Structure 1
């Protein structure tokens, strides 16, 4: 039992002098929040890459034994590294600024007053006020409790809230679900769970990303191919070039450089970074970078009604008395109920705005719980003891009563309806509600968010199904959804009648779109049932009752004005509280993933034809047809430069699983066709004894470029004006490089298109190869690609 002196300290909190003393002693909660990698880590991560290591070694070989013009590919290392560092630093600044805006701010008692601080401002022994939805930011002990219940599921996995009394321990990372109280901070800074959890929650990483893992798998396979390919090329070049090891090494470098899909990893990082920055400008905080990829895969959005489709604020429309009760007296009761709750929810706050506090003495309270769906209080009033409960009519009353029917009729019109009942005994969580006497319906008007209809229409157009999952009355939720033209909203489902087993629940979810009277545990079960059916689920919400579902969903989206607990577990936080931001978030994710898959086709096509050329030329034992600068020219004009534009273009195609398999289906045929056409042209040109070695090599360059640019033209579909300009600019630049003897012209690239027979051969073979590429893409898209893979070529 706390002493009177201790209670005074609890009410007063620490003094300014005591706070200063603890700050001087280092007893603060000032743990730097990491919203991204440090500058040093960013530089190291962009410099020390597998790609830079491979290309760097090849560049060093050219610097020693070759012409600097053949080492142009080496400058890609510098350019790629600089772009990656600059983009991530920009993203870092945006993310750190947004993280500060979205952080939880505990209310601390100092010198008898309650002040709101950043978590870093808490010191040892601070007294922190607690209420529903508050995140516990430091470890501590309960010093005051009034129906205090804490959810520790983030720490223990136990979903049931834990009832806390004075003297019980609290761990940072948990959050308050019901009731109010206060804690004394006993562990702060690095000693508390908060330091560990904050770092894990805010670290930006690409782990568990199918896209990133797929690219790394491809790079590893290529890495294993490089050594045998290098040995084969050197052996072949020594056989054809004699004992000139310098020429053999240059040929080896020319063969190996294009095998590495340079820029693909870079473009992936840039696309993610640009996505984060773009969303940041829309006041959207991305707490985990893979969330952007996850958004591209979402096909079901589970949206809470309150705070998502409707605004948090409500207005008391009317009080409808029953049984001769006086409305003025009932408004006094409602005012007393609101005054008895130090942290009223949105409904009770709306009631309190229109019903003044009569000043009655509170003798007992039961705070609102989303599981009970009611709150209540007992009073000593001028008329004697009074015991009142305010809650959901369908919870407080049995079926088919006149009052229940009246409530359902009002709720069917989209109004939020509460029931005020009087009980005979002091209110208690376990009170027998069968003795409750209905006194009045309390009707609240909900304001539908003006952007909700447009957002739902966007999801419908993008083949994303929206499920409205709410704790409110099913008919009331259905009326709101119907006004927004949500499909099947005219058949709302009462969640209390849903089957408990997962299969039955999943069937009900597949058939319905509006669900009312959903408990927090049911929301979680619904997310799991949808995931079991193969859906990728995003969950939106702003209340404490949404936390468990947000945590289990593939993507959790919280409103910035929601409880700190929801913001802590969500991957995406809409700081502007606008549901209309969500389409931009989903579109950004689809743009990133769709475009990376698009450009991956280009990079891996080059990898396939490069491997084919290295093996074919090595086995045929002829001089390698290209100098490194030739492949730099072709790669830049057909892949490198266009890929930067394609990676940032609009794209609304929903991403699907199987990234590596699907990309290889598209890249392998076109790469093999390009490689075979190039070898064919080169052998035919070598058979023409009137052509010089440079003219023979030029014929191979022309064929490979034309086939590669056709692959670019296919992947770039559907066309827009800027894509046509991009392709035409590529063709114009290559024509300049191959024919004009001026600045960066044919002399620089060592090309000669003056031999008509070999050039004609190159053009004919290229046309045939382009037709084969078109057939291959058509078959993949219309045949093998039908179903899950369809549409990925013709975006």
Structure 2
């Protein structure tokens, strides 16, 4: 792929001959381009297609194994020994249905959250969807807008575009008419317009999307761990299955059909076929649940990632406070109030895309009074988060030319200026303060604020979100550190955070005093809770500093100045009303702008991780005892103790059905690293105990020559069921009424299989006499007591202090 700077449009566009259309395309020209297919019709893929979902759920390694074994049983019969195949079909169908439901939710939310852009057609400004832009459309740009197609700038009013997501260069690029703009970049300052020269698949962003589709996976320990487990199971399964095949053909050489059935019965339970399926289902249902709360999860495992987060970096504006502000006071430093209201109103009216602060000024002083027409705007420079001020060059009623600046007092004034003490007093009350000043220096000078005369303070009251305090309390209770990183005054940000009772807010740090050395920066990031006057690049550096200390970092934001930090954070969370650029790089978008939705996302992630960990233990216990039984059968040269139908009953009642309910249950256990280690610590010894107990009961039953193979199989089935249900009882802890009911229902269902004649005949289960069945029960009880000892040992070894908790405790 070529670099953005090397891109050029074909034909007239390549020569810079973009048609001059001040009024934009006419309706006829627009219709002609639509008819020619010159439309930006590249679909935004927020999820996999239905075809991909079906393929991913059906064409799996283990489904292939199970499918072959099912076909073998269909040949040798009887049909009840092929029930495992029907279970796989049902489970796969459930997975497809759930993920398709999730896809529809995701796609509908993506449409709700999709940006709409302004274009000029027939001389009028129209709002259109991204996929409605056509070649040669005149697209208008303002602060925060994402450039969605390639084009050439036709109008520029201090237009600065950040191309860091394309080129890696952090500094914004000042654009002039005739310059190229590339899709995937975004506006950080000023306003302007450009003519679309490449749309659809020809646009640079579309080519990037082709190489890396939006349906990508966040780093997921859960998926990585499961893939690791399945890889080792595959290596273990092949030699064990070969040995089992040879042994059963040797033992049952007079009945090849029986040999095939018992071979299949030994191989099928080794495959943890439902583990991957349930993981996908759990993620998919999580997306649906969050979708109902107007939370768009753009990458499925992002809910797992946020559950693992131990540090949340918050941007004050739009997160702790609402987007809107109100002018509380215009406090003159010299002169009268009315002398400042008129130029302030003119300045606000000159901003093509005002930010929240300027909108509040516009609402308060936008009419400008009777003499407003006497002020003439010569040049305007919109607000930039890098500069921390906006300005206009005015021809004043007196005939003099001067630049008027409005911005951060501590940036525009030298340190120690008397007005700054007044600013600090107001900031300590949680108020936002802007300085209005006048200078004879032109706006295009290297330092327009050099000879600034401070004239007044614009005092703004920010609107706190009603749910912000409760959300911060939630994070504190979950040992998740919250850090406020804002471009506003450190004193003001600290006051807002303190009003929400955020621990550590009483010691805010001005980011201009941040050290540049990596270790010192990381130390400052660790010990400080509130940062003010942070530049976009510093936000990114703070996220990196926290990550360097082992923290898993989530970043929330809504403005363009948050984009770089959102992109680098482990999980980026954007507000739905924020800029298109922030929504494009975030993994999670809060469409209702509610900061209070974050606890729901964390809780959903914890539910997924905790429950999958539970069911993973069940599936792997089955794999371990199946492999052990197969090895014991191979070495002792006896018939495999089960037929496929017995494995179906055992798997369904002790794993399949319970796992489905456990995977969807509430679970608020804090996510911890070490998924594979924790799962195997229980699964390996529990599986070994279950397999040993089952084979012991089977061997003792076979030693009693008064019983037949069917009776021996029934004793082995009873013993293994009791031990497996004991494992289920351990995994289901802590108990609730529905979990006890679930375990009881599984026991009742197995009892029905044993006592109802047609079921016992169908599954070939019949207990004979008293000695062998009660021997199996006693062995199962002994195995259960041993399981309890193992469980308490494992639980104690896993209850070690977590590093993230220790760090949170030290910082507080």
When the two structures are superposed, what TM-score results if normalisation uses the length of structure 2? 0.94
- Please say if residues 678 and 798 of structure 2, whose CA atoms lie closer than 8 Å, have aligned partners that are also in contact: no
User: Contact 1:364/1:426 (CA < 8 Å) preserved in 2?
Assistant: no
Partner of residue 370, structure 1: 385
The correspondence of residues 545-560 of structure 1 with structure 2, limited to 5 A, is: 545-560=561-576
Aligned 8 A contact 2:441 2:448 in 1: no
Residues 220-235 of structure 1 aligned to structure 2 (within 5 Å): 220-235=231-246
The Cα offsets for residues 727-751 of structure 1, whole Å up to 9 and x where unpaired, read as: 1111111111123325x3x222211
Rounded to whole Å, the distance in 1 between the matches of 2:566 and 2:620 is 37
- The structural deviation recorded for 1:285 is 1.2
Aligned residue runs from structure 1 range 589-628, under 5 A: 589-628=605-644
Matching residue of 1:31: 42
Aligned residues: 783
Pick aligned residue for 2:416 from 387, 400, 412: 400
Aligned partner of 1:88 in structure 2 is: 99
Cα distance in structure 2, aligned partners of 1:124 and 1:205: 30
SS in 2 for 1:577: coil
Q: Which residue of 1 aligns with 2:779?
A: 765
In the alignment, the residues of structure 1 paired with residue 19 and residue 798 of structure 2 have an alpha-carbon distance, to the nearest angstrom, of 76
Match of 2:792 among 772, 778, 795: 778
The equivalent of 2:329 in structure 1 is: 318
Displacement of 1:470 in angstroms is 0.6
Residue 698 of structure 1: how far off its partner (Å) = 1.6
Q: Which residue of 2 aligns with 1:458?
A: 474
Give runs of aligned pairs for residues 244-283 of structure 1, distance below 5 A: 244-283=255-294
User: CA offset at residue 410 of structure 1?
Assistant: 0.3
- Any idea what SS the aligned residue of 1:433 has? coil
- Give the alignment partner of residue 335 of structure 1, picking from 326, 339, 345: 345
For the residues of structure 1 that align with 2:162 and 2:21, how far apart are their CA atoms?
24
Given that 2:47 and 2:298 are in contact with CA atoms closer than 8 Å, whether structure 1 keeps it comes out as: no
SS of the aligned residue for 1:12 comes to: coil
Q: Distance in 2 between matches of 1:361 and 1:22?
A: 41
Match of residue 493 from structure 1: 509
Question: Could you tell me which residue of structure 2 aligns to residue 583 of structure 1?
Answer: 599
Query: What is residue 362 of structure 2 aligned with on the other side?
Result: 352
TM-score of the pair, normalised by structure 1: 0.96
Instruction: Note closer, same or farther for the CA distance 1:364–1:705 as it changes in structure 2 (3 Å cut).
Output: same
After TM superposition, give the deviation of residue 258 of structure 1 in Å: 0.5
Q: What SS does structure 2 have at the residue aligned with 1:21?
A: helix
What corresponds to 2:376 in structure 1?
361
The CA deviation at 1:587 is 1.2
Residue ranges of structure 2 left out of the alignment (5+ in a row)? 1-16, 806-812
Provide Cα deviations, 1:366-385, integer angstroms capped at 9, x if missing partner: 22111110111111121232
* CA distance in structure 1 between the aligned counterparts of 2:95 and 2:355, rounded to whole angstroms: 46
**Counterpart Cα distance in 1 of 2:271 and 2:175:** 59
Give the corresponding residue for 2:9: none
Range with greater deviation from structure 2 (679-688 or 553-562): 679-688
Q: Indicate the residue corresponding to 2:5 in structure 1.
A: none
Q: Is the 1:691–1:758 Cα contact (8 Å) retained in structure 2?
A: no
Q: Is the 8 A contact 1:703 1:766 kept in 2?
A: yes
Contact 2:556 2:574 in 1 (8 A): yes
Residues 394, 403 of structure 2: 8 Å contact kept: yes
Q: Given the alignment, which residue of 708, 721, 724 partners 1:692?
A: 708
Who is 2:250 aligned against? 239
Q: Secondary structure at the match of 2:323?
A: strand
Residues in 2 aligned to 1:87 and 1:584: alpha-carbon distance in whole angstroms: 20
Matched, 1:129 2:140: yes
Conserved? CA contact 1:95–1:280, under 8 Å: yes
Q: 1:428 to 1:118 in 2, by over 3 A?
A: same
The 8 Å contact of residues 782 and 790 in structure 1, kept in 2 or not, is answered as no
Pair 1:391-2:407 in alignment: yes
Deviations 1:196-231 (A, max 9, x none): 345677633447433223222322322233332222
3-state SS of paired residue (1:180): strand
User: Unpaired runs of 5+ in structure 1?
Assistant: 1-5
| In 2: Cα distance, 1:285 partner to 1:520 partner | 25
Q: Does structure 2 conserve the Cα–Cα contact (< 8 Å) formed by 1:132 and 1:176?
A: yes
Mapped partners of 1:247, 1:471: distance in 2: 75
Alignment of 1:277-296 (within 5 A): 277-296=288-307
Secondary structure, aligned partner of 2:22: helix
CA contact (8 A) 1:34 1:199 kept: no
CA distance in 1, matches of 2:728, 2:306: 27
